Amino acid sequence: MDGARDMAEAVLNAVEASGRHYGTGLPMIASENVISPLVRRAVDSDLHGRYAEGLPGKRYYQGCEDFDTIESLAIEAAKRVFNARFANVQPTSGTVSNMAALKALTKPGDRITAVSTADGGHISHARMGAVGLRGLDLTTYPWDAERMEPDVDAACALIREVEPSMALVGASVFLFPMPLQEMADAAHEVGAHVMYDGAHVLGLIAGGAFQDPLREGADVVTGSSHKTFPGPQGGFLLSDSDDEQLQRKLNTAVFPGTNSSYHLHHVAGKAVALAEFEAFGVDYAHDTVANAKALAAALAAEGFDVLAEDRGYTASHQVLTRHGTSDSGAGRHAAALLETAGIVTNMNMLPGDTKAMSPSGLRLGTQELTRHGMGPSEMEEVAALYRRLLIDGEDATRVRLDVRELRSGFADVQYCFEA
């Protein structure tokens, strides 16, 4: 009994320590965000242990009337926020959204085109992930390393040659809008569906600060609800099609295809986050991009090798920096050193890297610092902290003190309703 209690206490202590680690540091992992106080109320509720298989009004369990209200409000809000005729708010992650879209629109053995993981594609786009799970025949796009996007002419030629059942557009490393319209035109010429994975940039899309995939040819958009869209862990599945058969396929691909019950407390959190995004999302999205641009320019001015200089470094929440030669592990070393000073990032493969665990680069995100109220002037301070640690070789303990001091003025979550 005492040992079990000790283990529970150890877990809770680690939970609190993690909160302090992020709360006194600079969280800059591009796939993360924080939830607002009202979203936290929804997530930390009785709903966490409840079941509601099916759709509002069509359930397999009793006791779902209140949740029917919640999910119906979330669906309608998602349609407004994303300007879509169809929305499913049930997926428990962006990857599950991808699995559902693949299940709805492909069958095992079909051909698919996507961005290679070596070029920044997400693992769910690869044979090791959802694409492989569905048993699809994958061909990856030629890549333009200077522009950090598919080589549009070569990619369109590839689509016309391969004649896939689906052309998947999107990535995990996502600096700039994809050449979606051109690729979608090529895909539709050969009868392919177009899937846009907007997991990283979904909040920027909803806020009008990136591209508009549903107007640029995507038949379905998938995404996460916890990256630049600042909600709880989960996913969205979206379409602007009014084809009822397609909508049924998408819904059934989610349930029973890839979800049973689907974390009702997170759906409630998504609903609240959607309401907050309707009120504050445009400002948040544009401020996030402005901060990424400011951070990239400041890092370059401090002497760092920031990718895509000719294109202005970034048009999203992400910034990529190179810290050594390809496959040198310099990115891994830089990420570890930054964390000792309270700056949390992730190593990342860059063009030329072939080893995921020893890449040369870092992928930085501004969405969480923006959520806490930081602006372009703070991005300059952040860049100076990077320089002190990674270029000047200053002691991490001293840098850590200034990281804490900077963060102390930005503790509260912004772009949300008061609790």
| DSSP per residue, 331-350 | HHHHHHHHHHTTEE-EEE--
- CATH architecture of the domain with range 281-408: Alpha-Beta Complex (3.90)
- Model pLDDT, residue 2: 80
Residue range(s) of every CATH 3.90.1150.10 domain in the chain: 281-408
- Model pLDDT, residue 305: 98
pLDDT higher at 1 or 104: 104
- Verify cis geometry, omega within 30 degrees of 0, for the bond prior to 37: no
- Residues of the chain with pLDDT > 90: what percent? 96
- Model pLDDT, residue 163: 98
User: Does residue 1 have a pLDDT over 80?
Assistant: no
**Residue whose C-alpha is closest to residue 27's, from 339, 355, 262:** 339
pLDDT higher at 133 or 397: 397
Instruction: Using pLDDT thresholds of 50, 70 and 90, give the confidence band for residue 414.
Output: very high
pLDDT, tens digit, 9 for 90 and up, residues 187-225: 999 999 999 999 999 999 999 999 999 999 999 999 999
Distances (CA, A) of 68 to 1, 253, 272: 41, 20, 15
Residues 6 or more apart whose Cβ sits within 8 Å of residue 98: 122, 124, 125, 130, 195, 197, 222
Hey, what are 197's tokens? 């994975």
Element containing residue 281 per DSSP (H, E): helix 264-301
User: Does residue 419 have a pLDDT over 90?
Assistant: no
User: Does residue 138 have a pLDDT over 80?
Assistant: yes
- Model pLDDT, residue 114: 96
Hey, what are 236's tokens? 């969205």
Query: What burial class does residue 408 get, using C-beta atoms within 10 Å of its C-beta: 0-12 exposed, 13-18 middle, 19+ buried?
Result: exposed
- Residues of the chain with pLDDT > 70: what percent? 100
The mean-pLDDT minimum among 131-135, 242-246, 251-255, 298-302 falls in 131-135
Instruction: Using pLDDT thresholds of 50, 70 and 90, give the confidence band for residue 133.
Output: confident
Hey, what are 173's tokens? 């490393």
State the average pLDDT over residues 16-22: 96
- Model pLDDT, residue 242: 96
User: Does residue 77 have a pLDDT over 80?
Assistant: yes
pLDDT, tens digit, 9 for 90 and up, residues 325-360: 999 999 999 999 999 999 999 999 999 999 999 999
- Model pLDDT, residue 179: 97
- What mean pLDDT is reported for the chain? 97
Residue range(s) of every CATH 3.40.640.10 domain in the chain: 39-274
Query: What type of residue sits at position 345?
Result: T
State the average pLDDT over residues 235-263: 96
Sheet holding 305-306, edge to edge: 305-306, 318-322, 361-365, 346-348
CATH 3.40.640.10 fits 39-274, yes or no: yes
- Model pLDDT, residue 193: 98
